[in-house]
């Protein structure tokens, strides 16, 4: 069975990181999970690993509201380095915000594959993974 090699979660909520990691592991469709507590740590990791395709995540779940660098700021920086990244990274905005402005803003960003409202369920995660794998 095909699997996602590396799945990245960028979120400052430790509980969300833990529960999402557990749900991802239970799908048995992900080989490795990497976690970052803010967008700056995640973007610095991508910049550092840009030439190491194996370490670049295949899928990234990105929160909007985080300290240091939020999800929107991360996306601005990501779009600058995207042409240098040697593979496609599937990015989903995952937020507790149901504000229509956030949803519309996310839809206007080509680098985003979708917008998922928290709390995320194991069914949501499995659907997203299966969609990506197919």
Q: Count each helix (H run) and each strand (E run) in the chain, helices first.
A: 5, 5
Which CATH number fits the domain that encloses residue 26? Answer: 3.40.50.2300
Which DSSP string corresponds to 28-60? T-EEEEEEESSHHHHHHHHHHTTT-TTTS-SEE
Domain span including residue 118: 4-133
Please write the tens of the pLDDT for every residue from 68-91. Answer: 999 999 999 999 999 999 999 999
**Confidence band (pLDDT; 50, 70, 90) for 98?**
confident
- Domain count along the chain: 1
Please write the tens of the pLDDT for every residue from 105-133. Answer: 999 999 999 999 999 999 999 999 999 99
Strand, helix or coil at 119? coil
Are the C-beta atoms of 66 and 97 separated by less than 8 Å? no
């Amino acid at each position: 069975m095909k699997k996602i090699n590396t799945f990245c979660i960028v979120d400052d909520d430790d509980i969300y990181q833990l529960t999402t990691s557990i749900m991802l592991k239970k799908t048995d469709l992900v080989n490795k999970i990497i976690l970052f507590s803010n967008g700056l740590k995640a973007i610095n990791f991508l910049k550092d690993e840009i030439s190491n395709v194996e370490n670049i995540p295949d899928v990234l779940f990105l929160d909007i509201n985080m300290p240091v660098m939020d999800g929107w700021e991360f996306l601005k920086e990501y779009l600058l380095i995207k042409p240098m990244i040697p593979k496609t990274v599937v990015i989903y905005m995952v937020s507790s915000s149901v504000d229509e402005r956030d949803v519309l803003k996310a839809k206007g960003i080509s680098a985003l594959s979708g917008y998922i409202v928290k709390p995320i369920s194991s069914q949501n995660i499995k659907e997203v993974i299966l969609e990506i794998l197919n």
